[in-house]
Structure formats: C-alpha cells, structure tokens
Amino acid sequence: MIPDPESIRSILATDCGSTTTKAILIERGPEGYRLVTRGEAPTTVEAPFEDVTRGVLNAVREVEELRGRKLLDGDGILSPQRGDDGVDLYVSTSSAGGGLQMMVSGLVLQMTGESAQRAALGAGAIVMDVMALNDGRRAHEKVRRLRQLRPDMILLSGGTDGGDIKRVTELAEIIAAADPRARLGAGYELPVIFAGNQSAAPHVTACLGSRTALSVVPNLRPSLEREHLGPARDAIHELFMEHVMAHAPGYKKLMTWSPVPIMPTPGAVGLIMEKVAKRDGLAVVGVDIGGATTDVFSVFRVPGAADGATVFNRTVSANLGMSYSVSNVMAEAGIANILRWVPFAVDEVELRNRIKNKMIRPTTIPQTLEDLVIEQAICREALRLAFEQHKALAVGLKGKQTARDISDVLDQSASGASLVDLVDLGLLVGSGGVLSHAPRRAQSMLMMIDAFLPEGITELAVDSIFMTPQLGVLSTVHEVAATQVFERDCLVILGPCVAPIGSAKPGSPCVTVEWAPESGAPSRHRVPFGELVRVATPGERGRLTATPERGFDVGAGKGRPVTRTVRAGVVGLVVDARGRRPFTLPDEPTARIARLRAWNRALDLYAREV
C-alpha cells in the first residue's frame, strides 16, 4: 500500500539501467525534501546472477555505507522507516534486460503504422519493427520476421472506426500464422493489444483470442484527423508489468518491494520532461543517453493551435548508447563523423578496437583526457542520430485532409511536417552518465550544442547526477517530493546559448549580444562568424539581447534583435557563431583541428590542450 504522502519522511528510489543500477536516498528536512546521497552498482539482470535485485541491494548497500543508515533488512528493503532505519517509500524504474521490446502494426505505414509506433514509444517501449500492409514485404516474409524477432508484446492497430475491416483482419491473420513466442518465459502467451477499428474487434478476437493474450482497447486512430494514444499506452504499461516484468529475472521479487508499479525508464523520464515544459511554458527537448539506448523527448506547441496546445513525443533509439551500443553508433554514424569532433590524429584501426573493447567491457571509464575526448565525440554522434530519429517521428498526422484558406496557400506546410522547431525550442535538458558525469559542465553543454544544433536563444540544462528516472516514477505518487528534489538537486542550469541562423565568411560580423544581469553591470559582446564565445554571467537571471547582422536570424527574422529573460547557469552564456543551416566543420584535417582547439580553449573545456 502506498503510504500517505504527508507521512513520508524518507524515500529510496532505484533505476535499473542496462549497465548500472543507481540508487538515491531522499529525506525530508526543515526545508522540504532533498537528495542526501546516491550509490550505484553493476546491474545483475544477466548471467551469472540473473537476478536484478542483487544489483539493487548492492547499490542500496553503497547508499547505506555513505549515509551511515541501515536501509536493508537482510535481502530486502527495510520499510516503513523505524527510528533512523529504513525508508517510508521505495520506488523503481527499469530498462535492464533490453527494456520493453515491441513490434507494432498498422494498415498504412505512414498513418496507423506511425500512430501505433508513437503509442508504443510513448509508453517507453523499443520498437523492433513496424509491420504494415504497404511495407513492401510479402505475407510469408512478415511471418518469418515475427518469428525471428520474438517481441515482448505486439500492438496491432489499423483502420479508422467504422472503416476497413477486411485488411485489419488480414494483419491479424498474419500474426496468427506466425504464432510468435514471447522473448522471456517460454510458458506464457504473447500479449497482443488490438487498438484498431472497433468493428474489426470480433474478427481479430476470433483470429487471435485463443492463441495470444489479447486485449482489445479503443482505437488509437479513431479518425484520420485524430490520434487517441492514451488507452493503448495504458494497456502497454499494464501488460508490461503483468507479463513481461513478471518473467524477467528477479523482477517478481523486486515488484514485491515497492507499492508502486515498476516503470520503464523512458516512461519515467518523459513524465519529468512534460512537467518541466508545463511549468516553464517552454518548448522542451530532453535526452537521456544510456549504455544501450538513447531516449529523446520533446514538447512543442501544436502548429496553428490558437489555445497554445502542446504535443509530447518520445522516441527510444534502441541501439544508440555509450557502452552496449557504442559499436552501433560507429556503424551508423561512420568513423569519419566521429573523428570530425576529435582535435588530434587517431589511427582508425586503434579507434575501432577501442570502441569494440568498450562494447565487450561496457563498465570501463576513460582514464586519459584523449580517451575522454573520443568518448565525448561518440556521444555527440549518438545524440545527433537519436535526435534525427526523433525528428522523423515527431511529426503531425499524415493522411488527414485539412480545410485550407488563403493563408495556407502562402504557408504550404504539408501534413506530416516535423513538430520539432529549433527556433521555438526554449530548453534543452540532458541526462545520462556521459552528460551527467562529464568532469566539466561546459563539456556537457558543448556536446549538446554540437549534437542538437539549437537555433536562436535556447537554455541548456543537465541532470546533476543522473536521477531523472527515479524522480519520474516518484512524481506519480509524491509530486511534491519529486518537484522539490528536481528543482533543488537534480536540474543544473548550464546557461543560455545564442546561435544565429546563417552563414558568412569567417571573421565577418555576425551577432552582438548584451547581457544585463538582475544586479550588476551589463556587458556587450560582438562575436564574428566562425567563433564560439563563453561569457561569464554573474547572478541568477538576466536579460539577454541578441542583435544579429543583416544576413543572420536569431528567431525574429534576419537582422532583427531578440530580447529574453533567461537563467544564468553554471557555465554561462555561450555564443555559437559557427553557423546554422548549414553548420559545417572544415574538411581539411589541419584546419579542422585548429578550429576545434580554438573552440575548446574558448569554452575552457579541458584542463590541458588535447
């Protein structure tokens, strides 16, 4: 039973990642809830341990040692708190063991297929494949693929309500013919969620009811103009707990420790991002880069909506990460794209071996500065690729007919256009080991700027010690504690970034920036094209005015100034006059290395020149 929030004095929260299990201890003091300590240990979902609770106990034991407080009762969490021992609440998130792996299906790839994908991703799943009638594969190829993949769950959608029944049933027939088995636990039926044309539900039930654990929920695309993802997402969460987690090693025990359902990590981080966007009234992009996956979240205004309505999107890039998936970052980005961020010559054979050795021994950390620089170069590419995938999926509904008036003729934004508008982006938040644990915060800031290429004025922040997932799940049962810890101990404001859109000759005038802190003397900086400048920003907040030259735009049109009140941040103001649309690095190695070194010096990025 979840205790009354008023009575909660202490909270223990864990996140079982694919590589590391992180534990945080929160205590209530005179000023409210604060993070008091954290601990971590290798995740033990895999052989030889095959019991996730071992890693949880090891991480909590570290918290015990550091805090000098008894939290464990033998092989379990001591709860509720008695005297100074134990905690009143224990919650957990998990992405270990590959997270939730789903296959989704819709009639048309770009319509219900894409809606189904958004529903699954929104619930924190990894989408292994999207099957649709127009995906170019023949029936037997689809059957073979279903058998090969062995997903944890299938989401079947298709058809608007009252629309096509025949072809929806055809998809169900393909799934029935494949008779797919679940990934974990040979003895249970594969969960299938049907969220398509409700008139087809009896036929789908006839086809799949006896072969799978079928759930029928309301249509996720009841009409072409409307997406209704909530019921499908809820069903995914429910089945994730009921079927998938219950069969993962050790989770049954872990579930008994917490009165709150274990949440998939991306689901928990998404909750926090949505809350931040709502609170600050900003368009927000968040990223959580882990060892195996990179999750991107965005909250943007719906284009054309008069009421300021926002749309939330989440994508999980299954094979982009810094340890288990590091080799895939190299495979997808290419060696050249990684090396373009490295300001020294690297032998390709040596680099390839280093990356593979990180993959096979995922818990190692960089010891030399050169190694750190290479790891941060890989991070830039992982973030860039994950953001590209996000932009491709965070789009308006495709296939809908919209009434057009004269203004639409002038502004021909096609349906299906990306909702991600970098000029509108107000806050970019980073989380995950490589960003949270970077030795200097300026390194995190530049990694995010290089990967996301924000435009105009954007604030950047980072999760201080990588605890957003735990606070996400906590917010479902104790909003006050989650918010207080998030604001005081979790979110570290790095500072604003000014990045004019446009291009010119290096050294030519680009932008003038004025910083007026709430108290203290204002400062003014003229930054030529091609430069990266870091400006100290004393105080907590200030008024930032960016005046671009005639050929450049900072959000209000070419040559027009923009003024905004922003938070100062621990790094300060970064003026990125390296160009946008396009952003390019010199092709010639000597020139490229010289530029990178100059920018690193400008941001005081490393303790010595590399």
Partner 1 sequence: MGHAYTPGLRVAAETLVRRERRLPLKGAVCVVAGAEVGPESVIARCELPGNVQTVNLAAQLSVDPAAVGGTLLKPIGSAVARDEPIAEARAMFGLMRNRVASPADGTLESVSSVTGQLLVRERPIPVEVYAYVRGRVVELLPGEGAIVESRAALVQGIFGVGGETYGRLAIATPGPDTSLEAAHLKPEHRGAVLVGGNHVSHETVLRARDLGVRALVVGGFDDRDLRELLGRDLGVAITGQEELGITLVLTEGFGRIAMAARTWELLVAHAGRVASVSGATQIRAGVLRPEVLVPLDEHPGPYAPEAGGGTLEIGSFVRVIRQPWFGRLGRVVELPAELGALDTEARVRVLVVEFTDDGTRATVPRANVERLAG
User: Applying CB under 8 A, does 70 fall inside the site for partner 1?
Assistant: no
Burial class (CB in 10 A: 0-12, 13-18, 19+), 74: exposed
Minimum distance, C-beta of residue 497 to partner 1, in the bound complex (Å):
23
Q: Which of 36, 72, 177, 570 binds partner 1 (CB under 8 A)?
A: 177
Minimum distance, C-beta of residue 191 to partner 1, in the bound complex (Å):
18
User: Applying CB under 8 A, does 332 fall inside the site for partner 1?
Assistant: yes
Phi, psi for residue 601 in degrees, rounded to 5: -65, -40
Residues sharing a CB contact under 8 Å with residue 433, sequence separation 6 or more, in sequence order: 20, 289, 290, 291, 322, 466
User: Applying CB under 8 A, does 140 fall inside the site for partner 1?
Assistant: yes
Minimum distance, C-beta of residue 117 to partner 1, in the bound complex (Å):
20
Which two tokens mark 595?
Answer: 């530029």
Give the number of C-alpha atoms closer than 13 A to the C-alpha of residue 308, restricted to the C-beta side: 5
User: Is it true that the peptide bond before 48 is cis, omega within 30 degrees of 0?
Assistant: yes
First CA to last CA across the chain, in angstroms?
Answer: 55
Q: Which of 136, 367, 404, 588 binds partner 1 (CB under 8 A)?
A: 367
User: Applying CB under 8 A, does 331 fall inside the site for partner 1?
Assistant: yes
Minimum distance, C-beta of residue 375 to partner 1, in the bound complex (Å):
9
User: Applying CB under 8 A, does 7 fall inside the site for partner 1?
Assistant: no
User: Applying CB under 8 A, does 228 fall inside the site for partner 1?
Assistant: no
User: Applying CB under 8 A, does 447 fall inside the site for partner 1?
Assistant: no
User: Applying CB under 8 A, does 209 fall inside the site for partner 1?
Assistant: no
User: Applying CB under 8 A, does 252 fall inside the site for partner 1?
Assistant: no
Q: Which is nearer to partner 1, 8 or 41 (CB)?
A: 41
CA 176 to chain CA centroid, Å, is: 34
User: Applying CB under 8 A, does 362 fall inside the site for partner 1?
Assistant: yes
Residue 280: name the closest of 426, 464, 473 by CA.
426
Q: Which is nearer to partner 1, 371 or 421 (CB)?
A: 371
E strand residue ranges, 262-309:
263-264, 283-289, 294-301
Minimum distance, C-beta of residue 504 to partner 1, in the bound complex (Å):
36
Handedness of CA 392, 395, 400, 405 (dihedral sign): negative
Minimum distance, C-beta of residue 108 to partner 1, in the bound complex (Å):
16
User: Applying CB under 8 A, does 456 fall inside the site for partner 1?
Assistant: no
The interface region with partner 1, picked from 171-179, 425-433, 471-479, 585-593 by CB under 8 A, is 171-179
User: Applying CB under 8 A, does 424 fall inside the site for partner 1?
Assistant: no
The interface region with partner 1, picked from 361-369, 523-531, 545-553, 554-562 by CB under 8 A, is 361-369
Minimum distance, C-beta of residue 462 to partner 1, in the bound complex (Å):
15
- Distance set, CA 100 to CA 126, 154, 236, 371 (Å): 6, 11, 9, 32
Q: Which of 18, 81, 115, 212 binds partner 1 (CB under 8 A)?
A: 18
User: x-or-dash pattern for partner 1, window 371-390, by CB under 8 A?
Assistant: xx------------------
Three-state secondary structure call for residue 163: coil
Q: 127 - beta bridge partners? A: 102
Of 501-560, binders to partner 1 (CB under 8 A) are none
User: Applying CB under 8 A, does 63 fall inside the site for partner 1?
Assistant: no
Minimum distance, C-beta of residue 353 to partner 1, in the bound complex (Å):
4
E strand residue ranges, 465-522:
491-499, 509-517
Tally of CB atoms within 10 A around 306: 6
Distance in angstroms (rounded) separating the CA atoms of residues 380 and 448: 7
Q: Are 44 and 55 in contact (CB under 8 A)?
A: yes
The interface region with partner 1, picked from 3-11, 107-115, 160-168, 258-266 by CB under 8 A, is 160-168
Q: Which is nearer to partner 1, 422 or 442 (CB)?
A: 442
Handedness of CA 188, 148, 96, 47 (dihedral sign): positive
User: Applying CB under 8 A, does 189 fall inside the site for partner 1?
Assistant: no
User: Applying CB under 8 A, does 179 fall inside the site for partner 1?
Assistant: yes
Q: Which residues of 310-329 are buried (b: 16+ CB within 10 A; e: fewer)?
A: bbbbbbbbbbbbbbbbbbbb
Tally of CB atoms within 10 A around 509: 16
User: Applying CB under 8 A, does 402 fall inside the site for partner 1?
Assistant: no
Q: Which of 277, 330, 427, 577 binds partner 1 (CB under 8 A)?
A: 330
Which two tokens mark 239?
Answer: 């089945």
User: Applying CB under 8 A, does 97 fall inside the site for partner 1?
Assistant: yes
E strand residue ranges, 290-410:
294-301, 310-317
Give the number of C-alpha atoms closer than 13 A to the C-alpha of residue 265, restricted to the C-beta side: 32
Q: Which of 30, 136, 166, 409 binds partner 1 (CB under 8 A)?
A: 166
Using the structure block, give the residue that is written with the tokens 């290395």: 593
Q: Which is nearer to partner 1, 354 or 478 (CB)?
A: 354
Minimum distance, C-beta of residue 327 to partner 1, in the bound complex (Å):
6
- Entry field: residues in the chain: 610
User: Applying CB under 8 A, does 167 fall inside the site for partner 1?
Assistant: yes
Minimum distance, C-beta of residue 211 to partner 1, in the bound complex (Å):
12
Three-state secondary structure call for residue 606: coil
The interface region with partner 1, picked from 210-218, 226-234, 368-376, 483-491 by CB under 8 A, is 368-376
Using the structure block, give the residue that is written with the tokens 């204002």: 522
Residues that bind partner 1 (CB under 8 A): 18, 41-42, 45-47, 50, 58, 65, 97-98, 138-140, 143-144, 165-167, 169-170, 173-174, 177, 179, 203, 292, 319, 324-325, 327-328, 330-332, 348-350, 352-372, 437, 439-440, 607
